[in-house]
Amino acid sequence: MPKTFADDLDQRAGELAADIEHQSASQTWVINGRWGSGKSSLLRALQPHLLQRGLLPIVVAPPPRDMDTGPAALLQIAEALHEQGFLNGELERLQDPAEPWSKKLSATMLGIQKHRGDVVLLCDEPGKWKVPPTAKETFSPYNNRHIEQVVEQILHGVDCKRVLTHPSGLRSGDSRPYDLPKDTHPSWLLDSSEQWGDLADVAHDVHKRLGAKLAVATPLEIRLLVALAAVTTVSQVDSYYRAEWPESQAIALRLATAMEAHDEFAALRTLWSQLALCRGSISPDLLRGMGAETLNPKARAVLYNGLLHWRAPGYEMSHVLRFQERVASWLDVEGRLAAHRRLADYYGALMERIQPQAASLSRELEAFHHASEAADAGALQRFRPLFVDQLNQLGRALSKDARDFAAAADVFRKAIEWDDDNDYAHHYLAYNVDWLATDPGLAEQEYERAIDLNPEHPWWWSRWINFLITVGRPRDARAQWREAVSALGVTSGEPPDTVYQSLHLPVARLLVHRMQLDFAETVLTETPSALRQNDSRFRALTDLLAVLRETERARAVFPLSVPFADWWNGPHLDFPRETPEGRLEQWFPAQVDEVDDAIVHLIMAKRDRDDGKVTYAQVELPREQFDRASMDEPSERLQAGRFLELAFYGAQEALHIRTHPETLWQALGLPALDPDPRRYLRIAGIGS
């Protein structure tokens, strides 16, 4: 009988387990391989082999990159220890919300340490557990302290055997590498009709066309190529692979793009985007409940044999497919919230069906996660949170997605009751109370407390300073600005661009809106010039500030549609280079100051070609002359404030005039004002 991929995996797991059995209790192994090469599969395949050798393997594979990843990892370890009677009743401590995180962590790690000779931690890429940056940041908006502490304890705290998949976050040491082969045997995968089900013929044809060229492809890449061939054609996949030799991320994107072009995969696209929200094993019951069996046969085959893979007791979806931006875009906000509601209901019903003694804390955590991501204000009544991280996640969703700032504030109050040292909870209690504009004293107190706890987070500073600007305390805002740039290293070094984007950008935006132009100019001047030029948001603010400065002096002559850096690189309107009167000799920008019965009054600017000095003049044009020269609107349709350009042709300086389109005063790329700068005035009955 030919060898299969599963046979190879089991053989490798047996060899590695034998090595683990005979090494010291403090030894670490690192499984290396490309994304999709089978590192996670090998890690789990170790379990039965280690159990046969009298060891206790504990798989630690929490949902990565989420706000509750730290608690999830801790619960996986604790529940495994509890099942073996190694935790001595400490599981009840983890279920007490009032118990400090530090005690929960130390109790769990002590359980490992006491049985260090038996325990083998099997950790799936702990280096990737932390909450990732947002799209425009290089730091996480969330405090990863609990996640980092769990990883630190796993890697360097407890003295037991551990097996990690790479990247692990391991700094250095005497770890023993286990390298998965760079070349695979595609025949092990592609010639197995049992594995491919209804895609068996497609898999066979892919193997026939590409053959040994697939030896460098990982199992995940082969699975995605077969799915892509089912959605498109084997011939297209053949050409694509030979031309680009793509890796799994590129194939996943191409698969998603290909599905968009075929209506027969519309339902599968929706299901893919919903299943991407699942963080663990996907049971057959859950798949049926989400409509997998109602898919057409071809889409169902792609789902079960391409997007999912079986790993008992359910199906799993690779992170390559879960964290795919194009797939995420298929769900709008309401669709995403609805999917999380369905998942919360599924886990809630599952918990009701099982016996209390078999209840899983990890399953409870998953139910609360989905209720939180659904922005369910009743989550605290339906499910039991055990960690402050879970409350922070719920509060974030209530504020960001549901815009229920009062409910969010209540959740963050509860989080602070559980952990008064949690800077995230303090800051977002302040932020939501600030949004409501009902208790400026509490907002001030909580903003300051968050900064005391974590003075290195730029968001904490920018929102605090903007609060001071909003409530009319510019002197305090300037003082806190100086504190912020010092605390964040802006004055002593060159911080990353994200510090400026998180501190300087929102503060400058509000200052420009409030016409505090000197302070705004200070903030923008302290931003690196390259960032002001390359970031469209900073460019828009710089342009707006320049226009407002000119307006302040009653001599603005350019609309916001003309970037500040291009003001004098004109003309900006569509003038001919030559007319019957001659060539274009010079042009001037202008703004309509007034139009009376006989005269069009303009403010016109001229820039000296030698020294760059700009001078302004009042120009009066008879309406008849204006109308003869105008290439656009006649004088009767002009209003004060319209921007013009005047061009002069030939030796006689024949005049032609063009008018800028009438546009709202909104620079392209200008950041939104959020929250409303007039909120405190409105609450007081002053603003409109």
Question: Strand 161-165's sheet: what is its strand order?
Answer: 56-60, 119-123, 161-165, 28-32, 176-179
User: What is the per-residue pLDDT for 93?
Assistant: 87
> Which residue is it, tokens 């500030």?
545
Please report the pLDDT score of residue 358 as a whole number: 44
Expressed in percent and rounded to 5, the helix, strand and coil fractions of the chain are 55, 10, 35
Other Cβ atoms closer than 10 A to 420: 12
Residue appearing with tokens 């209720």:
371
**What confidence score (pLDDT) does residue 140 get?**
58
pLDDT for the residue 625:
96
**Distance, C-alpha 337 to centroid of its chain:** 17
Residues β-bridged to residue 122: 59, 163
- What pLDDT, on a 0 to 100 scale, did the predictor assign at position 583? 95
Residue 3 is predicted with a pLDDT of 54
Backbone dihedral angles phi then psi of residue 654, each to the nearest 5 degrees: -65, 135
Peptide bond into 2 cis (omega under 30): no
Report helix, strand or coil for 466: helix
Q: Taking Cα atoms as reference points, which of 36, 79, 88 lies closest to residue 60?
A: 79
- Give the mean pLDDT per block of 10 residues along the chain (688 residues): 68 95 92 86 94 96 91 94 85 88 94 93 90 54 82 92 77 77 65 76 91 85 95 96 94 97 96 96 94 96 94 91 94 95 92 65 93 94 94 96 96 96 96 97 98 94 97 95 92 78 95 92 93 91 84 75 86 94 95 92 90 89 96 91 94 94 67 89 72
Rounded to the nearest 5 degrees, what angle is found at the Cα of 629, between the Cα atoms of 625 and 635?
Answer: 65
Record the tokens describing residue 487, joined without a space: 């605390």
Helices (H), 488-615: 497-499, 505-513, 517-525, 529-534, 536-552
b (16+ CB within 10 A) / e for 145-180? bbbebbbebbbebbebbbbbbbebbbeeeebeebeb
Q: Are 668 and 659 in contact (CB under 8 A)?
A: no
**Interatomic CA distance for residues 244 and 240, integer angstroms:** 6
Q: Which amino acid is at 40?
A: S
CB atoms within 10 A of CB 646: 21
Q: Let me know the angle formed at the C-alpha of 535 by 534 and 538, rounded to the nearest 5 degrees.
A: 115
Prediction pTM value: 0.83
Largest CA distance in the chain: 102
Amino acid code (one letter) for 350: L
